[in-house]
Structure 1
Amino acid sequence: MKNTLCKRYFTIKIDLKMKITALFLLLALFQLQASNTYSQKSNISMNMKEATIASVFDEIEKTTDFNILYKNSSLDVGKRISVNVDKVKINELMELILKETNVSFEIRRKLIVLLENGKKLNSGTSQASLNPSKIPEQAMTVTGTVTDQDNIPLGGVSVVIKGSSKGVSSSFDGQYEIEASEGDILVFSYIGFASSEVSLTQEKVINVTMKPSSMDLNEVVVTATGVRRKVEMGNSITNLNVADDVKQRPISNVSDLLQGQATGVQISSSGGATGMGSRIRVRGSNSASLSNEPVIYVDGILINNEANSISFETGGQSPSRLNDINPEDIESIEIIKGPSAATLYGSIAANGVIRITTKKGKQGEPRWSAFLESGLVENVTTYPKNYQALDAAGNPGFNFEAAEGTFVPSTVNSFQPLNDPRTSPFRTGQSYGGGLSVSGGSEVLTYFLSGNITDGEGVLPVNNIKRTNFRGNFGVKITDDLKVNLTTGYTNSNLELPLNDNFALALMSQGLNGTSTIDVNNGWGEFTPDELFTIDTRQRINRFTSGLELLWQPSEKLNFRASGGLDFTSRWDSQFFPTGEAPAFLNYDEGARFSNRFNDFVYTLDMVGTYKTDLWEGINSRTSLGAQYLQNLSQGTFTTGLQLVAGSNSIAGAAVTQSNEQTIESRTIGVFLEEQIGFNDKLFVTGAVRVDRGSSFGASFNSVVYPKISASWLISEEEFFNNSDKSLISSLRLRGAWGSSGVQPGTNDALRFFNPIAATLDGQSVTGVTIGSVGNSGLSPELSTEVEFGFDAKLLSDKIGFEMTYFNKRTEDALIFRQLPLSLGVGEGRFENLGSVKNSGIEIALNTRIIETDKFFFGIDFVGSFIDNELKELGQDIQPIIFGQQRHVEGYPLGGYWDETYTFSDANGDGFIGQDEVQVGETGYLGTPFATTDISFTPTLSFFENQFVLRGLLNYRGGQKLYNNTGAWRNGNSNNRELNDPDASLADQARAVASKFLGTNAGYIEYASFWRLREISLTYNAPSTFSSKLGFNRISLTLSGQNLGVWTDYSGLDPEISSEGQANFTTEEFLSQPPVRSWKARLNLSF
């Protein structure tokens, strides 16, 4: 917006001599009688509703050759007016605009000067006198390129003339072009980067390097009511701009993108098999019975995030539907952490919300990006050997027998077929990938198209994945007021899974239950890898996700958004045991086939309208009213064939067949209202409420209400803060919020229903029913209420960004299963709203730019979470819930480990522990399986003018324990070191005796704190001169590694794995395949 006298009067480029000549000509022209000839010939049409006078003037300057000079007038250019004219003269339009003001105007050729009423611009008025401070400069075209510190072009950077609304956006290759005048200040801003200002001289080429922002208060986030500035939010919301992470980090899936990047978010890998999912927790576990996984939205569409997405026995590991999403297509990820932030998401959001935004097209020429990558995965675990102690005569015996004097060890045999290269089934897996994308568009249509292929091998021959992803995102500007966005994504994958963990046919169990020499069955247990690898276990996915969004803004004050979408997943789980080849287990060697098919539909419909207005000077209001409809539908068929024809995998030829089907459906509808009041763009107070009704609620439970209130105060902008020295505290924001959201019961938890069955009566097949559930008509959602407060600060001239948040979350009406007497004949029991769970903690994020020059950069990002979990109530007359070594007990963390404690002593000093030297105590709490401390360091080092970028990710987790059931199980099989090796420590011998003879596994519940070097990457960014010679805008090469080291006192295979994969609470290492190490090389091209 040209609002000062120093703005341009001409649009041609002239040299210094021409400027001087033009100045004298102007002075002469202003001595003449004002001429209205031009204005009399110009016809203007305009239709603007509730627009500021400044924006009306801006529109006149854009659509005509007139410049309007009003800086020295008293006109209130912020006043809103409506203008609707058709083909009128400029003087008629100006009279209409200024009709109710005390300001008049005069037109001098293409210059409109505003004057106080009663004053005139006389013939002696010189050009300089129009603005005594400065003679207006001629306009010039400023061009340049905007890049980040790695010399990567940044598209979509806002370039605005300070003090005006005139601006442009950089194109896909970072280039921009803007008309400006000498003395103007250009402001460059982009999400995730610190704003940059450049004062214009006579230089017409301005290249700008954007620096990462430690905390950008003007950063925007996507909320349930639309796009909002982060400074307005009273909640802690993490916004991850991950578009470049896939180019510079060893990223295979969405879980990798999240690992170590956000406070309060813990990603637990389930094992080392390719294609497996991870367990995600956001601010702890809220429910003892329902899922604790966050919900996922992609481009505003709720998607299927089913954990444990497998329908038959694989031992514990399972894929996750979250990892169907292609990381290459993701622009940003927002993590809405707690109920106070997720109120407007209603009865599905108490565990947190993860909003994924995919890449969109930007106006400009087509921008192409391509990548090629290749990688290796390798097993780095040394598995514990199988032991057997022998006396001098070759008779076997054990350490506890030596303690009793009945055995004298002479030799100890040990062997492990998983380690020995002669027998080990492990391979070095290879992975390949490639992709191509293009984006661009016009003012009317923008597009982003991409395609990717992934082909990856695991370290076992029966572990492979092939995945293809396509995406097409389109934006259409129908009118200035109406826009439509269409997003579509398609995934096809074929995953071959190994059998692992707690399964008799798992490779790990056969190796860890093997013999102490290679002479017997090559060291394996009952079955060899050749037999196990005949089992074919696969999952095939065809997934289509599409959303349509309509944005209508009839005025500057009012806007509407309506969106709808579908996430459809077709899943086929297949497992085949070939006749005569498969292991002789449960008669599977006679041939067996399991074929289960699922069609999952997730429908989303959102509508919201927002009205913004100024209440008084400096006080504005934002009111949003909306509604949401969600529907989940899952249809499954289960087919089993036993005793197959040799050489066939068809169920049609099976001697025994079984079939079943299921349909699960739930619906939720909610309405919400939100009101935000802003005070001088410093203090923002927000109140909201959402009301939900769901099909899974009890019949007599009507609806649930979720309230919220929050405040955000940019206190550093207040006068009393006396923050004149911005170099110490650049900005300081205080924030706080209170609110609630929920998790609804399972689809059938509230229903009374019957299960149809086929039975045999008097030798004949008959049909009948059994009671499936007695139901609970009063069942309601679990209600989580949270209070949080914290602050965000920029320190030392933005070199340090510091965020800190305290939260306290209480879940009431938690669903607990109450067992009913079997004599009632109504099934085992029902769910009731009985429990209460508390989570509290502190989150800290620190972003630093320690050294920053044109040629060198070093900074460290730190995120830390410290969380305490406690089950406050189970409900009256409810006994502790026991599952394996874990329990839900009031006053302790959910899923805590419990067992009898023990003590020991080597009374006679012979170096062996016997049964009588171990004493068992009372059952007690031993620890939590979830880390109470989770911190990550991400150092970044760039040098040689950002041509080389070195980055790492170091993670520490502490305060947790892990049940080493692998050790306990091997102890039961008597082939472990503790029972056989005389050199085993006394503590190890004692835990083995306690487990084998005294019934307590407390010794195998170990501290599992660890440090893990999760990632290291080195990126080379080729100079632009070199890239351009090859026809590219950018070339970069990244070498990276993942899982490069772990430091821990845990004695098992790995302190992070769990045999139950994504299970809600069950956490143990039980014959689990540990994480593997991966290496990757990636070539990125932009053109």
Structure 2
Amino acid sequence: MKTKFSGILTLLLAFVVHFTFAQDKTISGTVSDDTGPLPGVNIIVKGTSTGTQTDFDGNYSISAAAGDVLVFSFVGYTTVERNVGAANTIDVTLAEDVSVLEEVVVTAQGIRREKKALGYAVSEVGSEDIESRTEGDVARVLTGKASGVQITSQSGTSGSATNVVIRGYNSINTSNQALFVVDGVPFSSDTNSQGNFLNGNVGSSRFLDLDPNNIESVNVLKGLAAATLYGTAGRNGVIVITTKSGAAGASGPKKTEITVNQSYFVNEMASTPDYQDKYGGGFDQSFGWFFSNWGPGFAPDGVDGYLNDPAGIIDANGTVAHPYATNVVCTQNLSPILCNKYNPGGTPVRYAWRPYDSVDNFFRSGGVSNTSINIRGATNDGNLSYNVNYGHLDETGFTPGNKIVRNTLSVGGRAKLSNKFTVQASINFSRNNVVSPPVAASRGNGTLGWSTFGNVFFTPRNVDLMGLEWEVPETGGSVYYRNGNDIINPRWSVANAQNGQLTNRVFGTAQISYDFTENLQLTYRAGIDFYNERNNAQSNKGGVNFNNAVFGFLNTWDNNVRIWDHYAALTGDFTLTNDQKLGLTFTAGATSRSREFDQQGVASSGQIVYGITRHYNYLTQSPIQFLQERNILGVFGDASFDYDDFIFVSVSGRQDWVSNLPTDNNSKFYPSVSASFLPTAAFEGLRSDKGLNYLKIRAGLGQSAGFPTGYPTVATAGQSTQVGGGIAGGPTGIVTNTISNFRPNPDLKPELVSEFEVGFDARFLSNRVNASVSYFDRTTEDLIVFKPLPPSTGFSQTQENIGKVEGDGWEVDLGVDIFRSDDDGFNWNSRVNFTTSEQIVTEQDDDQILYAGSTNPVLGANAAIRGEQLGVIVGTAIERDADGNFLVDTSGNYRIQNAISVNQNNTNPCTETILENCRNITPIIGNPNPDYVMNFINTLSYKNFNLGFQVSHTKGGDIAAATVATLLGRGLIVEDRKNTFILPGVNIGTGEENTLQINNSSYYFNNVLFGPKELTIYDGSVIRLQEISFGYSFSDKFLEKTPFGALSITASGFNLWYDAYNTPDRSNFDPNVAGVGIGNGRGFDYLNGPSSKRYGLSIKASF
């Protein structure tokens, strides 16, 4: 019996010893996904602190015992658990976790981080929201896609510029435009500001050089805590774009895949006024060949009928003498040929007195053809990948003579080498040709510049623009209906005048990385951005109204921009504790950016022979020369800590040195700190599948600076040329140098920008509802402003650091899956983004600073005034008495006031007993800053069908609308002519209530059009159907017998409907315009052109 018992004990001991040794065996294997090996995957023995990570090739090894459980986890993938058995090799394939794929975003300097770790707001826009859109301008494609981002178009003219501002305007004279970063390199999105706006230069933004169909993703970094690592360049927020070529290797097919995207859209004018057809040209119900449309009715009878016209010019048959029989064509012998044609033998040809659709007939339906071909692929092991994208855009505008032709080619690739090196590169080429007729500012009479739109829009209804001859046969000059022929015929403009811009651009990046270990990497990246803008602004002689049009001109100039970017950084990712709970990710590096802008050209005037636009055919020539260089060197660092996946803290800093300021003021350090806390991860009981699924609370602090451009601290020399009948520098030319009228300021400092933001992100009801709310508070100090100087100084102006702007705002993003099905059932997702902010001038030495628009109060300007929102509109106002009553003059019209006296609280009139406490300012007549902006985006799908639409609402934001004032003041949309007006107010001198009657033409012409600027101010609130689309994707079953891997067709439209509900109904005015060009000015319309609407079809196929 003892022998048996001893045998049992021996067997038991042998089993225990064998089990003990089994605990120490090594498990190894490879972790991959469907594209290849995955480096950096975390493997941990469940319930212990034992863990490791996969290496560069996805391999791992770990000590474990049979019966243990290995947990494999990686950001963006579903966690996998594997039991350890007898086998020593465990290979795992991880699948992407659809619920968290969007949680990995590209942040500053290309750093990829989990969204839950970010202590600041980030908005993401995917390729599905960008490609196959109607616009070739990527900035406009982003309209309404992200909260806090304000996008304004100069007009609907094809090729016109675009302004992109994040979190409001915070600076007076330095740029407020957001920084665009493409494939890790800052992208020059300049607008050609060197063109002559009076000659109607369109001024395209360099956004046009990007093909939206070549964009993989867009991330918007809104706050300074997010953008600190970009230094001064990122002070206005950053839009990080990853192209398909730049993303090569990140994901994609193993085989070669070809995708073709072809679309065609109709391009039409959206904001066509609803012209009245009851009355024709003249004034006070009497006919005349005037600008204005206050003449008799087109009907013969009645008190306003043409037979009752006291002038008696319109006969009983409803005809008048042809305008070319009675104006300077004959009276001053402008054209004997036309005079003989329309006044043969002294008997004028008769012209029908009726309405003509001149505006509708002048404009046309343009077209937008957009082709994109993408080829991408990778080797089976995923170590080598490539992407090629070609795009062709052919766009004709709704205005004759307006066109864009763009060709783009993008090539990118990525290779993992066997020696721990990874190389990646992308190169992009763009050739962009934009032509347009002159589309400069106008206020209804062409006096501001050469405005094709202005000359068309106020055409009287009795003028047949398309039926009248537009060219003097003998000279080729312009001829039109006015008695003095003192308005340019718009048909002559589009045939004889042109503004063009041909841009050739190369931009790209090359990057090499070396992995010292699986946790430590060194990266170097070089970027280039070279482009040449070949500009021309020209007109044959023969125009009217101002010298350039009368005598002809030709300006040609090249803008050559060369930018070099260098980036080097060491990055690391470490676990600091044995329990794997505390981690550190760091980046330390340096950047340099060198930019050179070199402008060379010739401006010629006084055309000798009509029709020849070469510089030798002009009487005078002057050089166009401008050179500007700047270098920025920066060093930066970022350390991000995470604890147990629910607390994240990031500390960053950057030091910049800028070359165009003296050493005392050319350097600035910007710190930032941000943190996020996930209560749903910290407290298990807080999270519920049917309640709160996810909650993140975040906060961030950051700083940046705005450095001045140019050379404001030193005196600069300019070239002055006097030419007498020869070219500059020739036998009769004298070239001299002069000192600039700008006084240098060696003490000028950069603007300092500081921001605090706090917010939360949450998901509810099985992730069916998600919300993101942010509050930010931003301050800009030491504002750089241009300050006028008295003539006695010998200079006209200088730059100084004056003032402070404080602003805050809210951003709200809400998403709801109203219906959601796991298969191809009915799905409906709705997203809302909401933005409101205001920026107040809190400190300022001067009474007011006019910084955009015009210094002439008749035209209006944006101003900085202490205690008011930045950018308020100032201009002439209706004069008030001490009780605030409007003052009416002896003719029954409003009295105009150019300046007012206010106290320190901007209260008018100033009643301070101490005179120094009063200050004179131009009256504040409007505020262009909207109360809020809201976008409502919907995506619906059922089986293979999908429907999407985006509705936008902008509440508030005043605009000085010269288009509306012209339509009203010229009588083009006013149907009522019989009623009289008694303007509210009191009479000057008597102080009694006004009882003077004036007729319609006097009210609209003398007061609205040429009276106080205040009467042209309208509330710019607008509701807009921004986008709508309906598509169908063919099923896999249908495609089985075709060469296509995927095929879809989509019908879509852009800006098909809008209602600016606080503007006159018949004006159909669209407030989304930038009347003073792209920059810091806003809230002005100077007949710059209507907006556009586009609709059409697109087809996308993959092979």
- The DSSP-based 3-state class of the residue aligned with 1:655 is strand
How big is the shift at 1:715? 1.4
1:562-711 mapped onto 2 (5 Å cutoff): 562-578=524-540, 585-586=546-547, 588=549, 590-616=551-577, 617=579, 618-642=581-605, 643-711=607-675
Shift in alpha-carbon separation, 1:349–1:859, aligned structure 2, 3 A: same
Code of the aligned partner of 1:272? G
- Please tell me whether residue 561 in structure 1 is matched to residue 520 in structure 2: no
Aligned position for 2:727? none
Query: Aligned equivalents of 2:243 and 2:642: distance in 1?
Result: 30
- The DSSP-based 3-state class of the residue aligned with 1:163 is strand
- Please tell me whether residue 550 in structure 1 is matched to residue 512 in structure 2: yes
User: Alpha-carbon deviations, 1:502-544, whole Å to 9, x = none?
Assistant: 1543222212343352279958662223311122321101110
Query: Aligned equivalents of 1:575 and 1:165: distance in 2?
Result: 75
User: Alpha-carbon deviations, 1:300-358, whole Å to 9, x = none?
Assistant: 11121112456234536421101210001100111111222211111122111111101
Query: Aligned equivalents of 1:389 and 1:160: distance in 2?
Result: 76
2:977 to 970, 976, 981: 981
CA contact (8 A) 2:266 2:1095 kept: yes
How big is the shift at 1:164? 6.7
Query: Aligned equivalents of 2:763 and 2:25: distance in 1?
Result: 33
Shift in alpha-carbon separation, 1:821–1:73, aligned structure 2, 3 A: closer
Aligned position for 1:495? 434
Query: Aligned equivalents of 2:957 and 2:405: distance in 1?
Result: 36
Aligned position for 2:325? none
- The DSSP-based 3-state class of the residue aligned with 1:1029 is coil
TM-score (normalised: structure 2) = 0.76
Code of the aligned partner of 1:966? T
1:194 to 99, 112, 126: 99
Aligned position for 2:811? 843
Code of the aligned partner of 1:965? A
Aligned position for 2:762? 793
Aligned position for 1:424? 361
How big is the shift at 1:789? 0.3
Aligned position for 1:201? none
Aligned position for 1:318? 203
Aligned position for 1:931? 930
CA contact (8 A) 1:492 1:541 kept: yes
- Please tell me whether residue 439 in structure 1 is matched to residue 376 in structure 2: yes
- Please tell me whether residue 356 in structure 1 is matched to residue 241 in structure 2: yes
2:1047 to 1035, 1041, 1045: 1035
CA contact (8 A) 2:232 2:706 kept: yes
Query: Aligned equivalents of 1:1024 and 1:709: distance in 2?
Result: 49
1:369 to 252, 256, 259: 259
Query: Aligned equivalents of 1:512 and 1:133: distance in 2?
Result: 77
Query: Aligned equivalents of 1:186 and 1:757: distance in 2?
Result: 70
Shift in alpha-carbon separation, 1:165–1:54, aligned structure 2, 3 A: farther
1:452 to 372, 387, 391: 391
2:50 to 77, 80, 83: 77
CA contact (8 A) 2:280 2:294 kept: no
Shift in alpha-carbon separation, 1:390–1:913, aligned structure 2, 3 A: farther
Query: Aligned equivalents of 1:391 and 1:73: distance in 2?
Result: 92
Code of the aligned partner of 1:856? F
CA contact (8 A) 1:510 1:524 kept: no
- Please tell me whether residue 507 in structure 1 is matched to residue 462 in structure 2: no
CA contact (8 A) 2:29 2:90 kept: no
Query: Aligned equivalents of 2:83 and 2:828: distance in 1?
Result: 36
Aligned position for 1:1069? 1085
- Please tell me whether residue 860 in structure 1 is matched to residue 830 in structure 2: yes
Code of the aligned partner of 1:410? D
Shift in alpha-carbon separation, 1:392–1:279, aligned structure 2, 3 A: closer
- Please tell me whether residue 824 in structure 1 is matched to residue 742 in structure 2: no
CA contact (8 A) 1:843 1:866 kept: yes
Query: Aligned equivalents of 1:926 and 1:667: distance in 2?
Result: 42
CA contact (8 A) 1:532 1:583 kept: no
Code of the aligned partner of 1:78? G
How big is the shift at 1:1028? 2.4
Query: Aligned equivalents of 1:1072 and 1:997: distance in 2?
Result: 16
Query: Aligned equivalents of 2:83 and 2:787: distance in 1?
Result: 63
1:232 to 97, 101, 117: 117
- The DSSP-based 3-state class of the residue aligned with 1:58 is strand
Query: Aligned equivalents of 2:353 and 2:655: distance in 1?
Result: 60
Aligned position for 2:28? 57
- The DSSP-based 3-state class of the residue aligned with 1:533 is helix
Code of the aligned partner of 1:704? K
How big is the shift at 1:914? 8.2
Shift in alpha-carbon separation, 1:187–1:1043, aligned structure 2, 3 A: same
- The DSSP-based 3-state class of the residue aligned with 1:966 is helix
CA contact (8 A) 2:1032 2:1048 kept: yes
Query: Aligned equivalents of 1:894 and 1:82: distance in 2?
Result: 54
2:489 to 528, 534, 554: 528
CA contact (8 A) 2:130 2:213 kept: no
CA contact (8 A) 1:417 1:524 kept: no
- The DSSP-based 3-state class of the residue aligned with 1:231 is helix
- Please tell me whether residue 1000 in structure 1 is matched to residue 963 in structure 2: no
Query: Aligned equivalents of 1:950 and 1:345: distance in 2?
Result: 39
- Please tell me whether residue 333 in structure 1 is matched to residue 246 in structure 2: no
Query: Aligned equivalents of 2:975 and 2:265: distance in 1?
Result: 41
Query: Aligned equivalents of 1:548 and 1:60: distance in 2?
Result: 29
CA contact (8 A) 2:456 2:490 kept: no
Aligned position for 1:13? none
CA contact (8 A) 1:493 1:542 kept: yes
Shift in alpha-carbon separation, 1:500–1:646, aligned structure 2, 3 A: closer
CA contact (8 A) 1:224 1:345 kept: yes
- The DSSP-based 3-state class of the residue aligned with 2:803 is strand
CA contact (8 A) 2:280 2:354 kept: no
How big is the shift at 1:680? 0.9
Code of the aligned partner of 1:939? N
User: Alpha-carbon deviations, 1:938-966, whole Å to 9, x = none?
Assistant: 111111x2x11000010000121110123
Shift in alpha-carbon separation, 1:990–1:699, aligned structure 2, 3 A: farther
How big is the shift at 1:237? 1.2
CA contact (8 A) 1:388 1:980 kept: no
Shift in alpha-carbon separation, 1:229–1:186, aligned structure 2, 3 A: closer
How big is the shift at 1:242? 2.0
- The DSSP-based 3-state class of the residue aligned with 1:287 is coil
CA contact (8 A) 1:387 1:981 kept: no
Query: Aligned equivalents of 2:136 and 2:621: distance in 1?
Result: 39
Query: Aligned equivalents of 1:71 and 1:673: distance in 2?
Result: 30
Aligned position for 1:896? 872
- The DSSP-based 3-state class of the residue aligned with 1:246 is coil
Query: Aligned equivalents of 2:498 and 2:371: distance in 1?
Result: 27
1:727 to 690, 702, 724: 690
Q: Percent identity?
A: 22
- The DSSP-based 3-state class of the residue aligned with 1:562 is strand
TM-score (normalised: structure 1) = 0.77
Aligned position for 2:905? none
How big is the shift at 1:873? 2.0
- The DSSP-based 3-state class of the residue aligned with 2:930 is coil
- The DSSP-based 3-state class of the residue aligned with 1:500 is coil
User: Alpha-carbon deviations, 1:997-1025, whole Å to 9, x = none?
Assistant: 99522121111101011111001101111
Shift in alpha-carbon separation, 1:364–1:459, aligned structure 2, 3 A: same
- The DSSP-based 3-state class of the residue aligned with 1:510 is helix
